[in-house]
Amino acid sequence: MRIDILTLLPQLLQSPFSDSILKRAQEKGCVEIHVHNIRDYSTHRQKSVDDYQYGGGAGMVMTIQPIADCINKLKSERDYDEVIYMTPDGVILEQSHCNTLSLAKNLIILCGHYKGVDQRIRDLFVTREISIGSYVLSGGELGAAVLTDAIVRLLPGVLNDETSALTDSFQDGLLAPPVYTRPEEYEGHKVPEILLSGHSTKIEEWRYEQSVQRTKERRPDLLD
Ligand code: ADE
């Protein structure tokens, strides 16, 4: 998979992709992540990338030209499955979207800033608009990092234990059950007996019950 991220703040996207699972995924060749500075594409004398909004009002709007030129250049080089715009007024990100997007070959992710991008970029280029939650961030970069992480960990060969993404919370519509490791007892708090029994069917049943109970308590909406 190849992911191209368009941003005004490329530095913000450096650290999330240079550690741990995302770093290894790139080293193993499972994913290529390319970060593009939108400002590099501005043909304006002062490399400007934003302007006042028509109709008045506070806040600048990201202009069409540099974004359109960057997307058109990328599209002339390869086909893209989706052009995703990170925005608080997008569809709230769910695991099912990540599962679908993990099947793509090439993705563009556009990060908004200020008041966002000129609506015509959304009308002409964007195929999906995604929000990572009902709150407003300073820009789309953190959302792009969240989305990229959630997609890339699903790619074949990225996680060491191939089954571990399948047992994540949400993959079966339920939250994950509690997990324990050594010591067997900490200040009087013991690991549930069943997990020490070695009885794999009973352990699976217990985990399933715990998942259902947790989901009922914390995310009843998932059970609807
Ligand atoms: N940009 C600003 N807020 C955002 C959010 N909640 N999700 C995605 N992109 C954003």
The pLDDT confidence band at residue 178, using thresholds 50, 70 and 90, is very high
Average pLDDT over residues 68-82: 98
Residue 159 lies in a domain: no
Query: Is the pLDDT score of 161 beyond 80?
Result: no
Domain match, 131 and 43 both: yes
Domain match, 121 and 179 both: no
Average pLDDT over residues 105-124: 96
Q: Is the CB of 16 under 6 A from ligand 1?
A: no
Q: What angle do CA 85, 36, 151 make, to 5 degrees?
A: 50
Domain match, 6 and 80 both: yes
Going by DSSP bridges, is the β-strand pair 189-190/185-186 parallel, antiparallel, or unpaired?
A: antiparallel
Residue 160 lies in a domain: no
Identify the pLDDT of residue 99: 97
Q: pTM of the entire structure?
A: 0.95
| CATH number reported for the structural domain that contains residue 129 in this entry | 3.40.1280.10
Average pLDDT over residues 194-223: 97
Domain match, 177 and 147 both: no
Domain match, 112 and 176 both: no
Q: Is the CB of 135 under 6 A from ligand 1?
A: yes
CB 6 within 8 A of CB 139: no
Average pLDDT over residues 19-34: 97
Identify the pLDDT of residue 162: 59
Query: Is the pLDDT score of 163 beyond 80?
Result: no
Query: Is the pLDDT score of 148 beyond 70?
Result: yes
Between the CA of 135 and the centroid of ligand 1 the distance, in Å, is 7
Domain match, 131 and 204 both: no
Between the CA of 130 and the centroid of ligand 1 the distance, in Å, is 8
Task: Give bridge partners of residue 110 from the DSSP assignment.
Answer: 6, 85
Identify the pLDDT of residue 124: 98
Identify the pLDDT of residue 169: 84
- On average, the pLDDT of the chain sits at 96
SS3 108: strand
Average pLDDT over residues 62-82: 98
Domain match, 19 and 69 both: yes
| Atom nearest to 131 CA in ligand 1 | 7
Identify the pLDDT of residue 172: 87
Cβ neighbourhood burial of 111 (10 Å; 0-12, 13-18, 19+): buried
Identify the pLDDT of residue 167: 79
Between the CA of 129 and the centroid of ligand 1 the distance, in Å, is 10
Q: Domain count of the chain?
A: 2
